[in-house]
Amino acid sequence: MSEMWQEAMIAAYREMMNRAVLFLPKLMAMVTFLLVGLAVGWLVKLLLMHILKVVRFEVFCERMGLTSALAKGGVKQRMSDLIGRFSFWVVFLFFAFMGVDALDLPATANLMSAILGFLPHVIAAILVGLLGILLANFSGEAVLIAAVNAQIQGARFMANMVRWGVIIFTGAMVLTQLGIAKEIVVAAFSIIFGGIVLAMAIAVGLGGRTIAKEALERRLRREKAGDEFTHI
């Protein structure tokens, strides 16, 4: 009985030691991946921020209204800092997932391939989001200035409508790109835009019928409330 117990203990100990011997290199590989990830991530961040500084990316963001758009959303950091930080985390997570994959655990067997497969969607969503914000600010600004120059009283309202319209449209595209509740997003988007168009149609058709008629008449008859002299 005692021998059997002894053999069982030794077998268990050997088994555990064998597993430990097999697992330790994997653990070390994971730690190495994490350390390399930290170093590479930091380097990429530094390099990227330097390049962005050289190409005056911050000035570009200010010009395109991206900085002010982020500030309105409560983000006080500079755009290049955000991109630097984001690049660090992307690189670090990439190495971290490689480390987890190196552990060869059954639970994380397909983690890396799944993440790599999803990464293009995330990058595309980020790009779509950034372009959307730029476009929204640009269009809003253009509409505001044009409406002010045309002396339309609701200039700011019109500009905000355009800006938020583009932002909502962008948000819907980002969510669709990420595959989050696709059907709901499409339905919600259709309802919101359809609703806005319907509301405007009713408003013009019922409330502003006379104004719309006069405006159309003026336009078609080319009647302009112009100045009494030419400016050039």
Partner 1 sequence: MEDAVWKAVQEQCPDAHQVDLLIALPSFNHASTIGSVLKAILAGLNASFANASILIVNADVGSQDGTPGIVKQTVGDLVPVAVIQPLGEGSSASPFALNRLSYSGMPGREEAFRSFFVLTQRLQAKACAVIDANMRSVTAEWMSLLVKPVLESGADYVAPVFRRPRYEGSLTNNLIAPLTRSLYGKRVGCQVGGGYGFSPKMASTLFQKKFLWEGEAARFAIDSWLTTVAVAEGFQVWQARLGAKVQDHKAGAADVATSLVQAVGASYHYMEHYQDVWEKPTASSAVPEVGKPMETEVESTPIHVERMMKGFRQGLRDLLPIWEVILAPETLAGVLALGLKDDEDFRFPLALWVQTVYDFAVAYHEKAIHREHLLRSLMPLYLGRTSSVVLETRGGGPEMVQHTVEQGCQTFEAMKPYLVDRWRFQ
Contact residues toward partner 1 (CB under 8 A) are 59, 62-65, 138, 141-142, 144-149, 151, 153, 155-156, 225-232
CB of residue 226 vs partner 1: minimum separation in angstroms?
A: 6
Greatest Cα pair distance in the chain: 117
Residue nearer to partner 1 on the CB measure, 80 or 137: 137
CB of residue 169 vs partner 1: minimum separation in angstroms?
A: 21
Residue nearer to partner 1 on the CB measure, 37 or 65: 65
Residue nearer to partner 1 on the CB measure, 87 or 139: 139
Residue nearer to partner 1 on the CB measure, 134 or 172: 134
CB of residue 73 vs partner 1: minimum separation in angstroms?
A: 16
Measured torsion, CA atoms of residues 21, 24, 25, 28, in degrees rounded to the nearest 10: -160
CB of residue 80 vs partner 1: minimum separation in angstroms?
A: 18
Residue with tokens 């991109």: 83
CB of residue 225 vs partner 1: minimum separation in angstroms?
A: 7
Element (H, E) at 59: helix 57-63
Residue nearer to partner 1 on the CB measure, 19 or 219: 219
- Measured between alpha carbons, how far is 217 from 210 in angstroms, rounded to an integer? 10
Give phi and psi for 46, each to the nearest 5: -60, -45
Residue nearer to partner 1 on the CB measure, 41 or 140: 140
Contact 114, 124 (CB under 8 A): no
Residue nearer to partner 1 on the CB measure, 143 or 173: 143
Q: Which amino acid is at 137?
A: N
CB of residue 173 vs partner 1: minimum separation in angstroms?
A: 23
- Measured between alpha carbons, how far is 147 from 153 in angstroms, rounded to an integer? 8
What are 192's two structure tokens?
Answer: 């919101």
CB of residue 203 vs partner 1: minimum separation in angstroms?
A: 22
DSSP 157-226: HHHHHHHHHHHHHHHHHHHHHHTSSHHHHHHHHHHHHHHHHHHHHHIIIIITHHHHHHHHHHHHTT----
